[in-house]
Structure 1
Amino acid sequence: MPDKRPMRICYFGTYERAYPRNALTIEALRRAGMTVYECHAPVWELQRDKSGSHRGVALLRLLLGLLWAYLLLSVRYLRMPKHDVMIVGYVGQIDMPLAWLLSHLRAVPLVFNPLVSLYDTICDDRRLIAPDSVAGRLLYQLDRRATGMADLVLIDTQAHGDYFVQRLGVRPERLRVLSVGADDRVFSPRSPERATPDVCQVLFVGKLIPLHGITTILRAAALLRNEPIRFTIIGSGQESAVVRQMCAELQLQNVEQIDWVDYERLPNAYAQADIALGIFGDSEKAARVVPNKLFQALAMGRATITADTPAIRTMLAVGEEVLVCPPADPEALAAQIRRLAADGDLRDRVAAAGYVAFATRYSIAALAQTLAVVLHDLVPGYGERDQMEWGDQPEFYGPRHRYRENYLFAAIRRFSPGPRILDAACGAGTLARRLAQANYQVLAVDLSRNFLSYVAKQPEAASIAIQNGDLTQLPYQSDCIDGIVAGEVLEHLSDDHPAFQEFWRVLRPGGVCVISVPAEPRLWDWHDSWAGHERRYTRADLTLALEQSGFEVLQIHHFGFPLVRAFHQYVYLPRYRRALSQYRGRLNQLSTNRLGYRLLTTLVLLAFQFDRLFNRLPLGIGLIAIARKPDAPHANA
């Protein structure tokens, strides 16, 4: 098996680079061994509070910024290295039309990492825009169209996935859950660093949006004002004024509000806390999310309290890894805070269990494992066992295959000095059967008994001498064969030199070897990994291998540019990838015998003849070589 080449990811868009959803996804991709290229133009990170960006001058500035960003992104993407997947980061709904166009230009699958629905967030949850307004309807359509463009959508909880299915019409098979998680490079367990040991410190961190339920937290603080419990609220946003007003009205001397703490310094704030708070809003969206702040608290080894929601119950063990209370219930929240403040042993047990849950299920390493499974299912060829089983999962036999086979057949007819032809690694025997129909004496050898069994059942089988064997130890006498054809096989061998030597041995003097191989290492794609290729050849590589084995190279040229190459990239690879994702583990030869398909294949094959004009250019997807065994013995034979 060849060394596994890493999957290559283009992370694309105007996404907020430092936002945890994006930063963690990118780091997890790299932790999973993937190569990540960022095609990014900054828009959203230029403003901390985005709640007012839908109005007036701010909206105009945003639209102009997006226009400029998309011009930059288009230019940058065209210069990007070859990659296997495009992922559009959060916030990416507006980016998706351009991403869809560019991903189709490269013929790579498109993954959307939206985290949330814009319509749900802006209209239903934050109520910044009326759902039935023109702007609200546009946001809904943007959500629906953006998710519909993606081959795969990454959502944070299954509850959110249900919303995307029921409200936005996303097909369930296109959804995968990738939890928000937290950055364990920044957040890790630390002992409490309290300035006043006798006072229990409670911490909330957030952007003060409605689903956080900040009013519930403040009312719970009011209930606990006479107890040795102090609250720290870090953050600013849509409800900052509400926090200031409530603190003044309720005279909350036990609450400290801090507008902003740099991300790198947040662990210091958690280290000074005994208890961390999640979210307590009672909106529909609040019931579907498990926010980053909660995972940060778990990663720091802090006992955490949050609202009892369907989402939290699918991700954490309630009562063991996290404590809960009903949403929007300050009395219940105060009771849970009082309980943890009074019982240090319970606090330690919940904190320890929560940290274990984070480390095993929601750390960067855990996110990396999830992404590896998700993307290896989407793009075959990169998993540990993700490789074609030779003889069980043959390729499509369509116009691309037929075009290459025509070259091999014509070369044998022109250059072979006799009728005895060996089809080396015959596969499903399409060329062997064709040679037999042309009255050649055909020998067919292959390692796969499945393939040989298939060939034996074909009408031409009586005219084909079928043999199970290895190309590096051919089961034939020396100097007994007039011509050898080896179509797309040598690239599968870890060392191709023994096969070239065997070809030379079994050929008669003057016999010819006709070979096709995939060309140019720069064209390597997921299909090479899936098919178990060890290499793609340059013209110089193939020439040297033949000459070192004693062959005289008669012809060598590229084939398959521009039309075959375009067909390979835009038709063959996407169709094959979809078939593998749907039929993984049980893919058999796909039927191409329908009349309509045969007619289409014939028309496409005729169009491919145009490519012959460009065979001298090093741009084709494959190489054809015709080499002769000299009449005089080779010195190294």
Structure 2
Amino acid sequence: MKRCLGCGGSFEGGWQCPTCNWQPETREGIYCFAPRLQRDAANPTDFAALAAVEERHFWFRARNRLILWALERYFPNCTDILEVGCGTGYVLAGIRDAFPQATIRGSELAAEGLKFAAARLPGVELFQMDAQEIPFRDEFDVVGAFDVLEHIVDDVRVLDEMRQALRPGGGVIITVPQHSWLWSRADDIAGHVRRYTADELAVRLRHAGFSCVLRTSFVSLLLPLMVATRRLHRNEHEPHSREFEIGAVTNRLLERILDLECAAIRRGARFPVGGSLLAVAVRR
């Protein structure tokens, strides 16, 4: 069901509200629900940099496999999926391939990012949107937000909006960076507001009306390397870009280590510490 951002009413059909006649802007065929906020969104060059490395970089590839496992494990029969903050569409493309029967949709605050996503996902509905005002109610089986919440001051509001966009029995899959003591210049450059602890995220999910069914750290086996690398480069002006500059042999080795970690999680292991955190929760 659609939600009018003008009067707050719910309706079916097209995007013109039958009560107040509000409708979103369209730009280059994409519905824009928060066009006034595009200037605050990510720099277009950030999306170009991501698009250039995601398909080969060990971290993105391993995270994708973990997300797809969680989706298949906890929501095997899902038919309607929304990714909030889909960026260049890399995760959404993986979901499309794993769930060809599902209707998938993606949103991003920066319309520039949606250009990359549209090229990667022809025919998939994409829209420019503020995660704090999701224009759907009781619409999706699953809503995903993958390394998105840490960029938003009022993350509880976003979680509440995600819950209201879900059908009864639906759920969320979330990944976020973990441990405030890992904070570095890379977080500043990425525009992070916070790094989470597992308990902090669980409390936020509970307050937003969710019951958490899974939480585990990941990038745990590589945590010592991550700590050492961030300390080594803590005074560099652009340490975030260096994290993408990895040789092919090293990249394959690190990916295999994270594959072992993912296999352990699939078998029931739950890691208490790690560079990132995965949570799955269902709407109460």
Provide the TM-score with structure 2 as the length reference: 0.71
Describe the shift of the 1:574–1:436 C-alpha distance in structure 2 as closer, same or farther (beyond 3 A).
farther
Q: Which has the higher contact order (CA 8 A, sep 6+)?
A: 2
Match of 2:84 in 1: 424
1:526 to 180, 185, 210: 185
- Equivalent pair of 2:42/2:110 in contact (CA under 8 Å): no
| Structure 1 residue 601 displacement after superposition | 3.7
Q: Which runs of 4+ in 1 moved over 4 A?
A: 569-579, 612-615
Provide the secondary structure at the position in 2 that maps to 1:423: strand
SS of equivalent residue, structure 2 residue 212: strand
What pairs up with 1:551-570 in 2 under 5 angstroms?
Answer: 551-563=210-222, 565-569=223-227
Determine which of 472, 477, 488 is the counterpart of 2:147.
488
Per-residue CA deviations over 1:175-195 (Å, capped at 9, x if unaligned) read: xxxxxxxxxxxxxxxxxxxxx
Q: Give 1:408 deviation, angstroms.
A: 1.3
Counterpart of 2:275 in structure 1 is: 621
User: For residue 45 of structure 2, what is the aligned residue in structure 1?
Assistant: 392
The 5 Å alignment of 1:234-253 reads none
Deviation at 1:508, TM superposition (A): 0.7
Matched, 1:461 2:122: yes
CA distance in 1, matches of 2:97, 2:277: 26
State the Cα deviation string for residues 359-408 of structure 1 (Å, max 9, x = none): xxxxxxxxxxxxxxxxxxxxxxxxxxxx9944432455311122222211
Aligned partners of 1:424 and 1:485 also within 8 Å:
yes
- Structure 2 distance, partners of 1:572, 1:419, is 40
Q: Residues 574 and 437 from structure 1, CA distance in 2 versus in 1: closer, same or farther, beyond 3 angstroms?
A: farther
Partner amino acid for 2:280? I
User: In proportion to residue count, which structure has more helix?
Assistant: 1
Kindly indicate whether the alpha-carbon contact (under 8 Å) linking 1:559 and 1:620 is maintained by their aligned counterparts in 2. yes
473 and 522 in structure 1: CA distance in 2 versus 1, 3 angstrom threshold: same
Q: How big is the alpha-carbon RMSD for the aligned residues of Structure 1 and Structure 2?
A: 3.1
Equivalent residue, structure 1, for 2:28: none
Q: Give the direction of change, closer, same or farther, for the CA distance of 1:567–1:420 in structure 2 (3 Å limit).
A: farther
Alignment of 1:134-145 (within 5 A): none
Partner residue of 2:175?
516
Q: Which has the higher strand share?
A: 2
What is the distance in 1 between the residues matched to 2:85 and 2:176? 13
Alpha-carbon distance, 1:625 to partner: 0.5
Distance 1:575 1:559 in 2: 22
1:497 to 149, 156, 180: 156
d(CA) in 1 for partners of 2:179, 2:185: 14
Give distance in 1, aligned partners of 2:149 and 2:169. 22
Q: CA deviation at 1:566?
A: 4.0
In the alignment, residue 461 of structure 1 is paired with which amino acid? P
Residues in 1 aligned to 2:162 and 2:253: alpha-carbon distance in whole angstroms: 36
SS in 1 for 2:171: strand
1:619 maps to a residue whose letter is V
Query: Does the CA-based 8 Å contact 1:527-1:573 persist in structure 2?
Result: no
Give the letter aligned to residue 609 of structure 1: D
Q: How far apart are residue 571 of structure 1 and its match? A: 5.9
- What are the Cα deviations for residues 331-386 of structure 1, in whole angstroms up to 9, with x where unaligned? xxxxxxxxxxxxxxxxxxxxxxxxxxxxxxxxxxxxxxxxxxxxxxxxxxxxxxxx
- Structure with bigger gyration radius: 1
Q: Which moved more, 1:604-613 or 1:465-474?
A: 604-613
Instruction: Kindly tell me the number of residue pairs found equivalent between the two proteins.
Output: 230
Alpha carbons 1:408, 1:485 under 8 Å: kept: no
Contact 1:400 1:568 in 2 (8 A): no
Provide Cα deviations, 1:87-120, integer angstroms capped at 9, x if missing partner: xxxxxxxxxxxxxxxxxxxxxxxxxxxxxxxxxx
Asked if structure 2 preserves the Cα contact closer than 8 Å seen for 1:557 and 1:624, the reply is yes
Partner of 1:445: 107
Match of residue 605, structure 1, among 247, 251, 255: 255
Structure 1, unmatched stretches of 5+, are 1-386, 631-637
Tell whether the 8 Å contact from 1:433 to 1:461 is kept in structure 2 after alignment.
no
User: For 2:205, which of 539, 543, 546 is the aligned residue?
Assistant: 546
Distance across 2 between alignment mates of 1:431 and 1:529 = 24
| 1:255-266 matches, cutoff 5 A | none
What secondary structure is seen at the aligned counterpart in 1 of 2:238? helix
Deviations 1:460-498 (A, max 9, x none): 322x211110111113x2111011111111011011011
Letter in 1 for 2:254: V
Cα distance in 2, alignment partners of residues 408 and 420 from structure 1: 16
Aligned counterpart in structure 1 of residue 73 of structure 2, from 414, 417, 426: 414
Q: Percent identity?
A: 25
Taking the aligned partners of 1:497 and 1:570, their CA distance within structure 2 comes to 32
Q: TM-score, normalised by structure 1?
A: 0.33
